[in-house]
Structure 1
Amino acid sequence: MASADARPPTAGERMRGYAVHLYTASGILLAALAAAEIFSPRPDPRIVFVLFAAATVVDGTDGFLARRWEVKRTAPDIDGRAIDDIVDYITFTFLPLLLVWRMGWLPDPGLLWIGPALIASLMGFANTGAKDEGGGFFRGFPSYWNVVAFYAGLLAPVVSAVMIVALAVLTVLPVRFIYPTLAPRPWRMPLLAGAFVWLALMLAMVPDYPDVPGWLLLLSLSYPLLYTVLSWHLSRRDRRARGRGDSGVPRGIPG
């Protein structure tokens, strides 16, 4: 008897599979709107950040739908990962860094500062080992340049430049950051819930951006701090487990 994974998809399942691919691809339309705003005579970064937030929602939900509706079985001729990587690089690396340059949030020449980040992230996307899904980690800084761009508009140009260069270096170093949707229990739900709260805080800052209240800015930084510290802790725990000859897969992460 054939397994469920081997059975041919029904017409309805095929439609759902292709619908997920179209949903992932829709992020490029949001990227196009963001690019149009960045290249406008008087770009408004608030509009760009709202579009980035919408793209983040798409990127954060399409993977669940892809697994739920088994797109590898129901629409196998389309490589959803390739679509995802292309859209992600444009939306979360290229355009955010271009925005930072366009808005003059860096010392001149701006390309000198964003160039290393553009190249390092491109290499990261091309690295087949950049996502350790079995262990639940990204390897290197996971190209959250949309977030970096948001904070760059609130910092002094020199500080933003140093931050971007430092993160570009981290992109190619063997450091690991937790993959939120694959985080081990009991951290997975707090991380995901915290991400939604954090997104809400950042959207709350958009109307007055860049003149945001100091307390709101500091509060919004609590989640990146938690994420970084937790990534270091879980990565250290995982390396110790591997050193003892354990499976290396933290409890709660599918192997």
Structure 2
Amino acid sequence: MSKTARCKAKSDGLVSTIQYWQMKQHHIRAYAVHCLTASGIVPAAFAVMEIASLDCDPRIVFIWLLLATLIDAIDGPLARRFHVKRYASSIDGRTIDDLLDYLTFAFIPLLLVWRMGWMPIGFGWTVVFAMAASLFGFAHVDAKDEANGFFRGFPSFWNAYAVYAGIFSTLVSPWLTAITLWTLAGLTVAPIWMIYPNLAPNKWKRVVMGGAVLWTLSMLALLWDFPHPPIPLLVLSMTYPTFYAVLSWHLRRSSV
């Protein structure tokens, strides 16, 4: 073999080695995203343990659920960035995400509403209707319209609802908690469309995501004096959900 041929063979081997390790890095990153998604089971488990404790503190449950929500908020963009469907195709990240979303956005917060007695006496068991509605909502074939950036139905934000449920049942009446729950359960399976925050139109994405951050901070502030927060703070915290609902209606109407 000539010197030129040997140099070419070494060069080709080096290129192949570099390409191999680059591919390995893609796989490692993609599977790391799956691990991040799956890590949501940790705060979910601790939230259930707190609910099961004799002296359950709902604020601790909310903190665990918030951590799960933060994980859920970042794993989607990372999954798209690192192409997990291509480089970690043996694991269906969507299935993991859906299972954890149901637990942390629906089942656990609704279980907390029942556990804390925030529903009218004799009607606590009706949280099962909301749990079932969320099951059908998650399982609907059109649950997410990712092309246009929408969820179908009330997007099962029961973790946020539970915060308000504790406040409403204390400051107003458990019946307000119940009526709100039954209404939202119906809207969960209704053919309405709500903005998918991570996929909101570019024109509105910063507003939607920035508003979501401010809303989260306001919810944390509500927990400081939970379940007796200052009324102005309570009203302020409800401005974003109102904006979100109105904007969802407007954008969906404009897209059809």
* Fold similarity call, TM over 0.5: yes
2:137 maps to: 124
1:225 maps to: 242
Q: Secondary structure at the match of 1:236?
A: helix
- Map 1:37-56 onto structure 2 (within 5 A): 37-56=50-69
Q: Secondary structure at the match of 2:202?
A: coil
CA contact (8 A) 1:13 1:74 kept: yes
2:97 maps to: 84
CA contact (8 A) 1:141 1:171 kept: yes
Q: Secondary structure at the match of 2:194?
A: strand
1:3 maps to: none
CA contact (8 A) 2:117 2:124 kept: no
Q: Compute the displacement of 1:111 (Å).
A: 4.3
- The structure with the largest alpha-carbon Rg is 2
Q: Deviations over 1:188-223 (max 9, x none)?
A: 110000101110111122121112111111110010
Q: State how far apart, in whole Å, the 2-side matches of 1:166 and 1:52 are.
A: 23
Q: How high is the sequence identity, in percent, across the aligned residues?
A: 52
Cα 1:68–1:178 shift into 2, 3 Å: same
Q: State how far apart, in whole Å, the 1-side matches of 2:89 and 2:141 are.
A: 20
2:149 maps to: 136
Moved more, 103-112 or 181-190: 103-112
Higher relative contact order (CA 8 A, sep 6+): 1
**Aligned with 1:193 (options 189, 210, 234):** 210
Moved more, 172-181 or 8-17: 8-17
**Equivalent residues, number:** 233
Letter in 2 for 1:55: A
Q: Secondary structure at the match of 1:142?
A: coil
Structure 1 alignment gaps of length 5 or more:
1-6, 240-255
Could you say which structure has the higher helix fraction? 2
1:61 maps to: 74
Structure 2 alignment gaps of length 5 or more:
1-18
Letter in 2 for 1:119: A
CA RMSD of aligned residues (A): 1.3
2:13 maps to: none
Q: State how far apart, in whole Å, the 1-side matches of 2:140 and 2:79 are.
A: 22
- Verify: 1:75 aligned to 2:92, yes or no: no
Q: Secondary structure at the match of 1:177?
A: strand
**Aligned with 2:109 (options 72, 96, 101):** 96
Q: Deviations over 1:100-138 (max 9, x none)?
A: 000000013344421111111001111121101111111
- Verify: 1:161 aligned to 2:178, yes or no: yes
Letter in 2 for 1:59: D
Give TM-score scaled by structure 2 length: 0.88
Q: State how far apart, in whole Å, the 2-side matches of 1:88 and 1:168 are.
A: 16
Q: Compute the displacement of 1:92 (Å).
A: 0.7
Q: State how far apart, in whole Å, the 2-side matches of 1:77 and 1:10 are.
A: 16
Q: State how far apart, in whole Å, the 2-side matches of 1:52 and 1:208 are.
A: 18
CA contact (8 A) 1:14 1:75 kept: yes
CA contact (8 A) 2:154 2:189 kept: yes
Q: Compute the displacement of 1:238 (Å).
A: 1.2
Q: Secondary structure at the match of 2:203?
A: coil
2:220 maps to: 203
- Map 1:1-12 onto structure 2 (within 5 A): 10-12=23-25
